[in-house]
Structure 1
């Protein structure tokens, strides 16, 4: 997996990235040995994918760039254990369509382990840090010669990837790292063409697992034993976020 752009000092010093999955999707990841990337057309922010959401005009006529159908992505973060991130990324629709705050699991990997994704799957694979820009800066991008040049190209390549690494400043708290795939057609879901299923070895890719701070401790222990006994993770790899631990501080005023 190739780096697009440069790493910042924080990632150079501590090259770990994290992703929060809903509990049921986490076990699907383990059982199916796969990461599911989505086409950027499914992203919620309409300003973060210029070549997908902009109205393209070529020779005076509307134009659909076929390259956009062949690029898939997954969002990770180098932000540490953050209650805000837990809450945002676990409040969504589950596989049954129910929108609420669900229990989640944070998986962590090291940047040098991303190469296992490209080793296990045919295609081109990239990753890069998000460049958070003010709205007035994003407004100028459709006239940027580099953007225009990338949109002219109908074969998906790294120039398209670069256009997908811009996002509004209001999202800067995410500290996002995006993984990208231009996969072999065999990896695109046969039913939902907006999904790409990449094979992984979870024990090779995942360095640690952290469970939701809102999970009952006994439930956490059950999941921990399951991960150890059924999936082969080491006990030291499995923890629970402490954000909801009771306040045990003592203030003496005598």
Structure 2
């Protein structure tokens, strides 16, 4: 279930459009399981994920001088936080297609912040929070200790193009171990407003996606990518 947290920054409104770019196998897994996959925070490609900026690390070392468990807690905490990443943009992003899909195949789910909040009400086992990522200089900028999610909502400035909105869950209070991630209950009909098929995909692939969605019992609106529009001279 979604919960508000006054310490988590979210300037985006409920009407803000967000996107998730993913390959067909991950999309089908979502439809079949009717669950949203959230990746363990230390499994992202960015090695800085969930770590501290240098000024923050120095402050944490100072605080842990007489409490050695303080620093160890934050090291292991990354294994207990799971994340679902979304891209905030009013339009499709050519860069996101390039980064998150391969071989001219893949899909983009279009939703809004408001739809995500409503869709998460189905989940009763884990508390969900939504926040926007802050892009900082990890050599100079200090990350404030506002809550347990503080290191997971900051990334290096070189990732600013991602314009990332995150769904976050902390399972530290659950007696479970997480391998690569966690699947959570979600109302897919509420979550997914539209589906866009890769702009460079072949016709057979587009037809396959449409048929699979129908056979699995969903009636999502499937759009042709705006990047596929004919050139007018």
Residue 225 of structure 2 is matched in structure 1 by 241
Pairing partner for 2:97 from 82, 86, 90: 86
Equivalent residue for 1:195, pick from 158, 164, 181: 181
Aligned to 1:120: 123
1:6 positional shift: 4.0
Label 1:137 to 1:240 Cα distance change in 2 as closer, same or farther (>3 A). Answer: farther
1:227 equivalent to 2:217? Answer no
User: Residues of 2 paired with 1:198 and 1:40: CA distance?
Assistant: 15
Confirm or deny: 8 A CA contact 2:133 2:155 kept in the other structure: yes
Kindly state the Cα deviation for residue 242 of structure 1 after the two structures are TM-superposed.
Answer: 3.5
Q: 1:198 to 1:102 in 2, by over 3 A?
A: farther
- On the 8 A contact 1:118/1:124 being kept in 2, the answer is no
Among candidates 159, 169, 173, match of residue 157 of structure 2: 169
Q: Structure 2: where are the runs of 5+ without partners?
A: none
**Could you tell which deviates more after superposition, 167-176 or 199-208?**
199-208
Contact 2:104 2:198 in 1 (8 A): no
CA deviations on 1:118-152 (whole Å, 9 max, x unpaired) are: 432312210101111134434x44xxxx43xx7xx
Take 2:46 and 2:216, find their aligned partners in 1: how far apart are those partners?
A: 38
Instruction: State the 1:86 CA deviation.
Output: 0.4
Q: How big is the shift at 1:218?
A: 4.0
Q: Determine if the alignment matches structure 1 residue 211 to structure 2 residue 197.
A: yes
Say which is worse superposed, 79-88 or 225-234, in terms of deviation.
225-234
CA displacement, residues 211-253 of structure 1 (integer Å, 9 cap, x when unaligned): 111111343134224323532214xx11121324453x32xxx
C-alpha change, 1:115 and 1:75, in structure 2 (3 Å) is same
Q: Which residue of 2 aligns with 1:105?
A: 107
TM-score (norm 2): 0.79
Which sections of structure 1, spanning at least 5 residues, go unmatched?
Answer: 92-100, 151-158
Query: For the residues of structure 1 that align with 2:48 and 2:35, how far apart are their CA atoms?
Result: 29
Q: Secondary structure at the match of 1:228?
A: helix
**Greater RCO between the two (CA within 8 Å, min separation 6)?**
2
8 Å CA contact retained: 2:15, 2:114? no
Report the TM-score, using the length of structure 1 for normalisation.
Answer: 0.73
Alignment partners' CA distance in 1, 2:114 and 2:179: 29
Q: Is the 8 A contact 2:21 2:106 kept in 1?
A: yes
